[in-house]
Amino acid sequence: MQEINKQKIVDLLARLLEDNYVFPIVGKELSLMLRQNYDRGLYLSEDLVEGFVEKLTQDIFALCKDKHFKIIFNDSIVPPEKRFKSINYGFEKLVFITNKIAYIQLSRFCSPSFASNVAHEILGQLKGIEHLIIDVRNNGGGHPDMVKLVTSYFFDNSESVLLNTIRWRGDSCLEEFWTDNSSHCYPDLSLYVLTDRGTLSAAEEFSYNLQCLERAVLIGEATGGAAHPCRLFELTAELSVAIPIGEAINPITNKNWEQGGVIPDINTNSDNALKLALKRLGLPEEAHTAIQ
């Protein structure tokens, strides 16, 4: 990578952060920091693209601590409808442990634009179930509309419930996410949600929404702490950058889970979360083997 290209990337990245980062003051600080670092020659020693990208990422994260920020090699980007097909678009596993207790491994919240049929097929099989364990450990997030779709199944469809709002940078109003009046609903189903440090973004919203509405018991570890939805911007023909451009705001707490994560109702090691949920449901410890 030639020196002139480094300068162009730093200048463009600095401008994009200043113009788009969710918090304008922080965006200006990030922009200034990058320009100062470049002027001081801190990026001169990075001859390889990978090293340059890693150094930029480290510097930015050190200042904003935002887990949604990421510089991406364009050739690594795979359309989500192809990327997540092998895991059934996030609905990776449905297990009926007994005729009254079910378990869903939900490893991604894919966009309903290509995953709604799978979601409805899986969730539609829960008729007659009294207790449901939803496992979002190591769920890296996804689309807020799928969070809304899944959550809507667990509230009475006679009225809509406000789940979350997003304040987008530059917008004077909030985007609200309400439950849909789904054709199927299980308002009396008891819910347990399993979390860990790998639970991020949309998976954290899902967990936090249900916790704040007192609709589920969260078991496991505090989540990763990523509450700022992002947008992808092109830096070069080879590189793009994901910049956080909004913040989630829960209508009950007026807060979100950025950095601190969602704190579960029952703290336990991630590996023990499923066993503990099953124990609370009166099942023997070895019952978890049916899910493996």
pLDDT value for 107: 98
pLDDT value for 57: 97
The predicted-structure confidence for 32-67, as pLDDT tens digits, reads as follows: 999 999 999 999 887 788 999 999 999 999 999 999
| Inter-axis angle of helices 49-64 and 3-20, nearest 10 | 30
Which pLDDT band, with edges at 50, 70 and 90, does 2 fall under? very low
- Given a cut of 60, whether residue 1 has pLDDT beyond it is no
pLDDT average, residue stretch 8-29: 97
The predicted-structure confidence for 75-88, as pLDDT tens digits, reads as follows: 999 999 999 999 99
pLDDT value for 45: 85
Q: Which residues of 110-123 are buried (b: 16+ CB within 10 A; e: fewer)?
A: bbbeebeebbbebb
pLDDT average, residue stretch 227-246: 96
241 Cβ neighbours under 8 A, 6+ residues apart: 13, 16, 69, 70, 71, 72, 232, 233, 235
CB 236: neighbour CB atoms within 10 A? 13
pLDDT value for 4: 54
Which pLDDT band, with edges at 50, 70 and 90, does 214 fall under? very high
pLDDT average, residue stretch 205-232: 98
The predicted-structure confidence for 163-176, as pLDDT tens digits, reads as follows: 999 999 987 678 99
The predicted-structure confidence for 142-161, as pLDDT tens digits, reads as follows: 999 999 999 999 999 888 99
Average pLDDT, the chain: 94
pLDDT value for 131: 98
Percentage of residues in the chain with pLDDT exceeding 70? Answer: 98
Predicted model pTM: 0.94
Q: Do the bridges between strand 230-234 and strand 239-244 make them parallel or antiparallel, or are there none, so unpaired?
A: antiparallel
